Structure 1
């Protein structure tokens, strides 16, 4: 699995889009045949806007609309076979809660064992890829645990915690978090991205 973890996707930085396009080539499949699971978990109106934006961006890369399926608060995909898992931003705790409720946390972990698959995370989508998700509750714009989640484990696709939208002002709080959780934190600036191959 190839992970591309970002703060703001390619909205803030066109180089991220170039990186995504380059990683798509590693799937060794015609782009028009690439199957995407798009995960935008938020309220109705915001979700519609997110869907429109991300579908438009994926289509610009040559991905066909009929090859894009969705996992939302209310809808689960019919297929389990995807080349790209594309996880948008929002409330980190709500994302993890929804993935567990739909059993897609396990399915993503199983898919991670396939070499030719991309996990693309934006903000909360990047956080949940890591070891612990309670890192979402620190920093300038912390997420509230609106679903009362008790299990703070992320997907654990990488053995680190991920902190998107990083600025040096967050460093002291992140340092404390690293010591308390005994977990290295990957810091991603607003326009930044980082990649892993697992």
Structure 2
């Protein structure tokens, strides 16, 4: 009996894919560690970009160790020499930009073309598909401003993962949770399998 490659390797379509993983400031940033590990395990090359706010929740050391690449946290690589991280090159290099978690602040920036950090600059330069996994408290997630921003991002052709209901960091329960890393990897694998 022959078994297909896809049933043996459910995430084979991620092999050798160049992925940018943007991590914004949300308590759900801790999920970026298992997400990075799963993507690398599936064979993807993962370059992590952390916003300054995200560094309060997860360290560059953790994500750099898991991705096997230095984590990018700002425009400048070395201020003394003027070396910088070229957001245009990063946007051209990537086969997909995945922002997980995507905070309300980051969603607002992207929806309105604001560019205060490396992640938003890469987003504006990216020619690849963009996937966002919102993460915030339920009242924020339901707020008309966030709803409108998500609709706007969808209208730009971005892929927005639905936020599942569940217990939130605030102690409340409802939608606003970041999609689990395993589910994000499965969604990405299915996307690339169809290309």
Q: Provide the TM-score with structure 1 as the length reference.
A: 0.42
Q: Whose helix proportion is higher, 1 or 2?
A: 2
Bigger radius of gyration, 1 or 2? Answer: 2
Q: Which has the higher contact order (CA 8 A, sep 6+)?
A: 1
